[in-house]
Amino acid sequence: MHNALKDKKIILGVSGGIAAFKAVSVASRLVKKGCTVNTIMTKNAEQFVRPLTFETLTNRPCIISTFERNGKFDVEHVSLAKSADAFVIVPATANVIAKIAHGIADDMLTSTFLACNCKKIIFPAMNTGMFENVATKENINILISRGMEVIDPVDGVLACGDIGKGRLMEVDDVIKSIENILVKDMDLDGKNVLVTAGATEEPIDPVRFLTNRSSGKMGYAIADAAAKRGANVTLISGRATIAPPPGMRVEFAFSAKDMYDKVLEKAETADICILAAAVADYRPKTISKHKIKKTDQDRALELVRTPDILKSLGEQKIKNRFLCGFSMETEDLIENSKAKLISKKADMIIANNINDKGAGFCVDTNKASIITKDNVVKLPLMSKKKLADVIIDNIVALIE
């Protein structure tokens, strides 16, 4: 089996229950499997195990949860949160579950958890009465409804002497559960995915160009999500406001023609093409060699069509190559997007209306509909990162 844990960056959250002693072996096993493990303990967890134990086993500083308002430290925990592949809480007490379900961030563990956008895996362990209390059950349901993985505790004799559900499973099983979840997330393993992103620029002269407001965030989020799920990603990017994600091949292409040439070349070996770039439909007919001098007269700019990259790929009709395009409209979104699906011979169109609050350019959220030959799925407002995963879930379901 693919070692889903190799080179993974894991944040191990340890909260204050007797099962915290098992977290020590979990940390050690994760390190042996090739993970980088950063441990964050709650203050109560320190009553059960010492931070030094984790530091020695993981060779990394163990963050403890005295909430120091130290600027540098705050920034560090946010950057830790940004780079993590998975946040695992072993054990998760009823108290920590309640806090994370409600967005409470009053210590380092819960603050980092809130800042994290990665896979979250929670291992509750507590007394049976606490586990079965409706408050805990509802809190766990909130976590599940937000896409987190909650691994139920097992039956057995509990530290308090009660017999019932609430024991943390054996360390072997904790590791297997984490592995299984991360393997499932490698569903693009070995697939070649080509993504375009950002805005194209069509030069008028050496100084000026025609462009649009695309930030590249949506396309970059898709490229990142595909890479995290095991794909070999080639990202062909126009101008963007953020840095490209790590772990992929990146080529910049600024004009529509440049992007067309690069995409057509790279698409030959692609299994999935997702064209999220905002490509200019027109370019100036001529590009002046010198800066155009102003005069007192008005001027007209003659524009000619650029190649339609998505349509060109669709017309190639390559079997088993999945083609997904984007559609941004300000009116009749679904109808126009359905027409685009057909005219460009795409397998999927992600339609977003820039009039929707929170959707469109520059922001970190989007509201989209996924349009395929047989289906229209209207999605709620969500982060572009989350939407990227949902788009890939839908593509994976269609290519399987």
Given the rule CB under 6 A, which residues bind ligand C5P?
196, 256, 275, 277, 279, 281, 306, 308-310, 325-327, 340
- Closest approach, Cβ 324 to ligand C5P, in A, equals 8
**C-beta of 212 vs 241, nearer to ligand C5P:** 212
Kindly state the smallest distance separating residue 344's Cβ from ligand C5P, in Å. 7
- Among residues 154 and 377, whose Cβ is nearest to ligand C5P? 377
Cα separation, 89 vs 123, in Å, equals: 6
| Burial class of residue 65, CB neighbours in 10 A (0-12, 13-18, 19+) | buried
Would you call 379 exposed, middle or buried from its count of C-beta atoms within 10 A (0-12, 13-18, 19+)?
middle
Q: Specify the amino acid at residue 336.
A: N
Q: Does the active-site annotation cover 160? A: yes
The answer to whether 129 and 158 are in contact (CB under 8 A) is no
Tell me the HSE value of 162 on the side-chain side, using a 13 A CA sphere: 12
What DSSP letter does each residue of 273-318 carry, written as one string?
Answer: EEE--B--SEEESS--SSPPPP-SS-----EEEPP-HHHHHHHH--
347: Cβ contacts below 8 Å, ≥ 6 apart: 322, 323, 324, 372, 373, 398
Q: Closer to ligand C5P by CB, 41 or 370: give it.
A: 370
| Candidate list 35, 160, 273, 324, residue with the active-site label | 160
Using the minimum distance from each CB to ligand C5P, give the nearer residue, 84 or 274. Answer: 274
Residue 84 sits at the vertex; the CA angle it makes with 175 and 20, to the nearest 5 degrees, is: 45
Least distance CB 393 / ligand C5P (angstroms):
19
User: How far apart are CB 349 and ligand C5P at their closest, in Å?
Assistant: 8
Residue 15 or 306: the one with the smaller Cβ distance to ligand C5P is 306
8 A C-beta contact, residue 221 and residue 384: yes
Element (H or E) spanning 53, and its range?
Answer: helix 51-58
Instruction: Return left, alpha or beta for 383; rule: phi > 0 is left, psi -120 to 50 is alpha, else beta.
Output: beta
Taking residue 108's Cβ as centre, other Cβ atoms within 10 Å add up to 23
- When the beta carbons of 101 and 277 are compared against ligand C5P, the nearer one is 277
Complex with ligand C5P: residue 84 or 195, whichever CB lies closer:
195
CB of 280 to ligand C5P, least distance (A): 7
Min CB(197)–ligand C5P separation in Å = 9
What whole-number distance in Å separates Cα of residue 270 and Cα of residue 196?
13
- Give CA separation, 171 vs 30, 100, 162, 183, in Å: 10, 23, 21, 18
57, 72, 81, 95, 180 from 76: Cα distances, Å: 21, 6, 9, 25, 29
81 neighbors 112 (Cβ within 8 angstroms): yes
Which two three-digit tokens encode residue 261? 């040439």
65 versus 214: smaller Cβ distance to ligand C5P: 214
Q: Which residues does the annotation mark as catalytic?
A: 160
